Structure 1
Amino acid sequence: MEELVVLVSPEDQVLGQMEKMKAHETGLLHRAFSVFLFNDKGEMLLQKRASEKYHSPEQWTNAVCSHPKLNESYLDAANRRLSEELGINTDLKEKFNFIYKAEVGKNLWEHELDHVFVGNFEGDFKLNKNEVSEIRYISLKDLENEMQEKPENFTEWFKIILKEYKQHL
C-alpha cells in the first residue's frame, strides 16, 4: 500500500496528496510532525532508525517523526506513531511549528511544515523493529557533544529541529 503525504502551502492550506517517495524526490512542502520525549531526569529519548529505512537508516533521531494522513490532526498522528513505533502512549503538548528543507541523501529531500510536540515518558517500550532498531535517553549536553563529534550519526532533520527547539525553551 502506497503511503501518501499531504502537500500544503506555507500557510498549511491543503494542496493535495502525493506518494511519500515522490514528495521526497521532488522536495515539495508537506505536513509532518516530530515528537521529543523526556524522562523524569530531563534526558531526551533518541531512536535509531531501522537499517531497512529507505533513507537515513541506522541514524539517531528524535523519539518519533512522521506524516499525518489527510484529515488527521497533527496530534492524533503523533499519538498514532508513538504507539506504532515505540508501543507507548503519553500526553503530548505542541511546542511550535516551522518549515524546513533538508537533503537527506540519495537525492531525497525533507521539505516539511513540521509541528513539534513534547512529552514525558517513564516506562517500558515495545519497539517496532521495522522502524526502530534501538532507543536510549541522553542529556541535552551529552547530545550536543555527540552531535559535534559525530554529526554523521544523526539525521539531518533532527539537527535542524533540535536547533529550532532550543530557541523555544
Structure 2
Amino acid sequence: MTPNNHIILVNEQDEALATMEKLEAHQKGLLHRAFSVFIINSRQEMLLHQRASHKYHSGGLWTNACCSHPMPGEEVEQAAHRRLQEEMGFDCPLQKLFTFTYHATFDNGLIEHEYDHVFLGTFDGSMAPNAEEVEAHGFFALPDISALIRDTPERFTYWFKMAYPTVLEHLGQR
C-alpha cells in the first residue's frame, strides 16, 4: 500500500496514535482524522457537490465542497487545500472554523468515525471538478439548502447535515 491509502488514527483529543489503511479503518470504525471544506461565494451562496455514485460510501449524496483525510505527515489545512484542488479544481484561502466528532454506519457496513476539522473559504472563480469525484455541483442559497435538508435529509451526507448548522452560525445565518 502507498502512504496515501493510509489515514491517521487519533484519540478524542485528536492526538495521532497510528496509521492504518483507509478501508480497514472504515471497516473497523476506528476514530481517525478528517476534514470538511465549506465554500461560499460573495453572494453568500454555498458550494455543494453530488458525490460520484461509485464512491465507497455515500455515493450520489449531496455534500460540502470537499472532504477527506490528511495523509500521514500532512498538516490538516495543507490536506484541505490539496483535496479542494483535486476534487473541485480550484484553491482559495481557508479559515478553520471548528472541529467535531461523529460516528455513522452505512448500508454497506462501512463506518465513519471521524475527528473532523471544518474549514471555510470564499470563492467566486471558475472551477473544474474531477468527474471521478463529483457528479454535479453548484452554488445554492443558504435558505434553500436548509429547506432541502429539512424536507429531503436522505439526499445529503451524514457529516454535512451535522456540520451545516454550526457553519451557518459562523456565517451569522442562524
Normalising by structure 2, we get a TM-score of: 0.92
What is the CA–CA distance in structure 1 between the aligned matches of 2:22 and 2:163, rounded to whole Å?
20
Match of 1:115 in 2: 117
What is the CA–CA distance in structure 1 between the aligned matches of 2:78 and 2:18, rounded to whole Å?
20
Pick the aligned partner of 2:65 from 63, 66, 70. Answer: 63
Equivalence map 1:14-163=2 (5 Å): 14-163=16-165
Unaligned segments of structure 1, at least 5 residues: none
What is the CA–CA distance in structure 2 between the aligned matches of 1:46 and 1:168, rounded to whole Å?
18
* CA offset digits 1:112-167 (Å, max 9, x no partner): 11110000011111111111111111111110111111111111111111133345
What is the CA–CA distance in structure 2 between the aligned matches of 1:162 and 1:103, rounded to whole Å?
19
Assess if the C-alpha contact under 8 Å between 1:38 and 1:121 holds in 2. yes
* CA offset digits 1:57-109 (Å, max 9, x no partner): 11100001000011111110000001101110100010111211122331111
1:137–1:77 distance in 2 versus 1, CA, 3 Å: same
Assess if the C-alpha contact under 8 Å between 1:104 and 1:155 holds in 2. no
Structure 2 counterpart SS, 1:57: coil
Normalising by structure 1, we get a TM-score of: 0.95
What is the CA–CA distance in structure 2 between the aligned matches of 1:155 and 1:104, rounded to whole Å?
11
What is the CA–CA distance in structure 1 between the aligned matches of 2:106 and 2:164, rounded to whole Å?
16
What is the CA–CA distance in structure 2 between the aligned matches of 1:157 and 1:19, rounded to whole Å?
21
- Code of the residue aligned with 1:59 in structure 2: it is L
What is the CA–CA distance in structure 2 between the aligned matches of 1:28 and 1:64, rounded to whole Å?
21
Structure 2 counterpart SS, 1:48: strand
Assess if the C-alpha contact under 8 Å between 1:110 and 1:157 holds in 2. no
Q: Which moved more, 1:145-154 or 1:33-42?
A: 145-154
Assess if the C-alpha contact under 8 Å between 1:104 and 1:156 holds in 2. no
What is the CA–CA distance in structure 1 between the aligned matches of 2:132 and 2:36, rounded to whole Å?
19
Assess if the C-alpha contact under 8 Å between 1:45 and 1:63 holds in 2. yes
What is the CA–CA distance in structure 2 between the aligned matches of 1:162 and 1:105, rounded to whole Å?
23
Aligned pairs, number: 169
